């Protein structure tokens, strides 16, 4: 049995439990000063306060009196894509909006062209580079969506890349099928046919190959309507794919209401989420997966996170890493924005990027907190306490990242 002991932890900060925390619970975390954590075969076996156990047969890691938290969970990324879109920066600076660029054939369609043109190996190499960087910033589990293939063969190609990377990269990946990211150019005059293709051709293949857990749809003006989104997510359920939804990112057309109605596991973005949407999500048990780095990049307002917490909606936060609306994969920046822009407390933010994020991808039984039985995923920070990592901006404060009990 491989034993690893992390000792001399100045502050161990973690939420506790296997389900998402909402309301006041979101801000209740366990803080242990002068702590230790023992892992056996990649799983947390014990933890405590004060003098660390002898454990003579264990590898010992000295945390140097620093902060330790669970590994960060990035519950929303568009990890698999060809090319980048730095050319859109100039357009944005000259006043073009996200939807202007998309409607002019840029945006998701241009990344789709690049993704279709890339081989599986090329996509994997590019995503692997991003995963390496994420790991260095403290992310140990990551959701990854397809959605830049928009044709059966290319959507399956992206999902295979996710499966293969999950097998060989230390970061654990959870796959989401997002064939409904945009109606691709060749179906613009026949969107009905594209929705049919997603539901009747892509989904059965995704199911057959068992390569995705969730189904996501971009419910937005000029993208997929509420009714199309409903059809797609209900079809996903038939194929064992739990619903997620990009809702209220730019215009509130009813996506968050739909999320609650369907009992979606999470609704994403929610930048302009109305009161009715918050109520619907609270009722449906939907987790709000907020993406503040996207608001930052779009120059948009920030989601009403405080109203969501107050209404009893569990709030998770993620990067939304993608080549368009958010070319940022750094969860530490998300932590900063969670405090500075959402006005959440450091404790609420920690829950959002660990336990609630894990729950948003149905992994809260395995990751998202430091407690016996969960995976040995930890970050040792170059920081004395939790406030410090929320307040320092722009540095990488992750000193040592531990995945399944091993330093990575
Ligand atoms: O979550 N909104 C839809 N999808 C991504 C953006 C994708 C892109 O711009 O390429 C998002 O923001
Ligand atoms: Fe997204």
pTM value is 0.98
Q: Quick check: 120 pLDDT over 90?
A: yes
- For residues 386-407, give the mean pLDDT: 98
In this prediction, residue 339 has a pLDDT band, given cuts at 50, 70 and 90, of: very high
- DSSP characters for 140-172? EEEEEE--S--SHHHHHHHHHHHHHHHHHSSSE
Distance 198 CA to ligand 1 centre (A): 18
Average pLDDT, the chain: 97
Using the atom order of ligand 1, give the atom closest to the CA of residue 326.
12
Between strands 30-40 and 3-14, the pairing is antiparallel
Nearest CA to 392 out of 346, 327, 352, 326 is that of: 346
Return d(Cα 261, Cα 281) in angstroms, integer: 8
Q: Which two tokens stand for residue 194?
A: 């594209």
Provide residues with CB under 6 Å of ligand 1: 78, 107-108, 111, 218, 246, 249, 294, 320, 322-326
Residue where the block lists tokens 């230790």: 36
Nearest CA to 102 out of 194, 184, 1 is that of: 184
**Is the separation of the CB atoms in 329 and 296 below 8 Å?**
no
Distance 108 CA to ligand 1 centre (A): 7
**Is the separation of the CB atoms in 246 and 228 below 8 Å?**
no
Residues with a beta carbon under 5 angstroms from ion ligand 2? 320
Q: Tell me how many degrees the CA angle 176-181-186 measures, rounded to the nearest 5.
A: 130
| Backbone dihedral region for residue 44 (phi beyond 0: left; psi -120 to 50: alpha; all else: beta) | beta
For 176-217, the pLDDT digits (tens) are: 999 999 999 999 999 999 999 999 999 999 999 999 999 999
For 41-79, the pLDDT digits (tens) are: 999 999 999 998 988 899 999 999 999 999 999 999 999
Q: Closest-lying ligand to the alpha carbon of 247?
A: 1
Nearest CA to ligand 1 atom 1: 320
Residue 161: how many other CB atoms lie within 10 Å: 28
Alpha helices by DSSP H, listed for 223-330, are 226-238, 255-262, 275-284, 292-298, 305-310
- For residues 263-279, give the mean pLDDT: 98
Nearest CA to 273 out of 285, 262, 259 is that of: 259
Site to probe by mutation for ligand 1, drawn from 91, 245, 246, 253 as the one with most ligand atoms within 8 Å of Cβ, is 246
Return d(Cα 90, Cα 98) in angstroms, integer: 12
Which residues have a Cβ under 8 Å from the Cβ of 196 and sit 6 or more positions away?
none
Site to probe by mutation for ligand 1, drawn from 74, 78, 303 as the one with most ligand atoms within 8 Å of Cβ, is 78
Q: Which two tokens stand for residue 247?
A: 């809702």
Q: Quick check: 99 pLDDT over 90?
A: no
Return d(Cα 176, Cα 246) in angstroms, integer: 12
For 216-231, the pLDDT digits (tens) are: 999 999 899 999 999 9
**Is the separation of the CB atoms in 331 and 401 below 8 Å?**
no
Q: Which two tokens stand for residue 301?
A: 């307002």
Q: Closest-lying ligand to the alpha carbon of 322?
A: 1
**Is the separation of the CB atoms in 356 and 316 below 8 Å?**
yes
- For residues 151-175, give the mean pLDDT: 98
- 53: DSSP letter: P
Q: Is 143 buried (19+), middle (13-18) or exposed (0-12) by CB count in 10 A? A: buried
Site to probe by mutation for ligand 1, drawn from 89, 324, 327 as the one with most ligand atoms within 8 Å of Cβ, is 324
Distance 225 CA to ligand 1 centre (A): 16
- For residues 145-158, give the mean pLDDT: 98
Residue where the block lists tokens 């600076």: 93
Return d(Cα 57, Cα 359) in angstroms, integer: 34
Q: Which two tokens stand for residue 282?
A: 């609270």
Per DSSP, what are the bridge partners of residue 180? 217
Nearest CA to ligand 1 atom 3: 218
Nearest CA to 102 out of 29, 182, 178, 43 is that of: 182
Using the atom order of ligand 1, give the atom closest to the CA of residue 323.
10
Q: Quick check: 2 pLDDT over 90?
A: yes
Give me the percent of the chain exceeding a pLDDT of 90. 96
Return d(Cα 123, Cα 112) in angstroms, integer: 12
Site to probe by mutation for ligand 1, drawn from 92, 325, 326, 328 as the one with most ligand atoms within 8 Å of Cβ, is 325
Distance 323 CA to ligand 1 centre (A): 8
Return d(Cα 229, Cα 219) in angstroms, integer: 6
Distance of CA 8 to the CA centre of its chain: 31
Distance 78 CA to ligand 2 centre (A): 6
Residue where the block lists tokens 């001399």: 8
Q: Which two tokens stand for residue 164?
A: 């293969």
H-helix or E-strand spanning residue 44: strand 43-49
């Amino acid at each position: 049995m491989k034993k690893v002991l992390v000792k001399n932890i100045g502050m161990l900060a973690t939420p506790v439990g296997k389900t998402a925390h909402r309301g006041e619970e979101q801000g209740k975390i366990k803080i242990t000063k002068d702590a230790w954590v023992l892992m056996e075969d990649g799983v947390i076996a014990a933890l405590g306060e004060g003098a660390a156990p002898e454990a003579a047969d264990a590898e010992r890691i000295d945390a140097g009196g620093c902060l330790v938290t669970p590994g960060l969970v990035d519950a929303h990324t568009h990890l698999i894509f060809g090319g980048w879109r730095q050319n859109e920066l100039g357009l944005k600076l000259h006043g073009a909006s996200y939807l202007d660029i998309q409607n002019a054939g840029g945006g998701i369609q241009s990344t789709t062209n690049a993704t279709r043109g890339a081989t599986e190996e090329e996509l994997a190499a590019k995503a692997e580079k991003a995963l390496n960087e994420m790991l260095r910033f403290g992310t140990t589990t990551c959701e990854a969506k397809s959605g830049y293939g928009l044709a059966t063969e290319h959507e399956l190609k992206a999902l295979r890349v996710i499966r293969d990377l999950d097998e060989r990269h230390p970061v654990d990946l959870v796959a989401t099928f997002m064939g409904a990211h945009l109606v691709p150019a060749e179906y613009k005059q026949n969107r009905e046919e594209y929705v049919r293709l997603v539901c009747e051709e892509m989904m059965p293949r995704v199911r057959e190959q068992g390569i995705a857990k969730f189904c996501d749809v971009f419910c937005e003006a000029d993208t997929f309507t509420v009714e199309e989104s409903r059809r797609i997510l209900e079809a996903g359920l038939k194929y064992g794919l739990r619903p997620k939804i990009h809702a209220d990112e730019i215009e509130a057309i009813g996506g968050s209401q739909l999320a609650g109605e369907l009992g979606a596991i999470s609704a994403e973005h929610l930048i302009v989420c109305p009161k009715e949407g918050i109520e619907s999500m609270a009722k449906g048990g939907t987790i709000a997966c907020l993406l503040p780095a996207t608001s930052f990049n779009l120059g948009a307002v920030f989601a009403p996170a405080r109203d969501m917490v107050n209404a009893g909606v569990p709030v998770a936060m993620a990067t939304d890493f993608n080549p368009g609306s958010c070319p940022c994969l750094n969860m530490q920046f998300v932590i900063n924005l969670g405090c500075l822009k959402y006005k959440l407390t450091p404790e609420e933010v920690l829950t959002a990027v660990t336990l609630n994020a894990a729950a948003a991808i149905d992994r809260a039984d395995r990751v998202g907190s430091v407690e016996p039985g969960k995976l040995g995923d930890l970050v040792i920070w170059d920081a004395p306490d939790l406030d410090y990592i929320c307040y320092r901006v722009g540095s990488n404060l992750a000193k040592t990242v531990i995945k399944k009990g091993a330093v990575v």
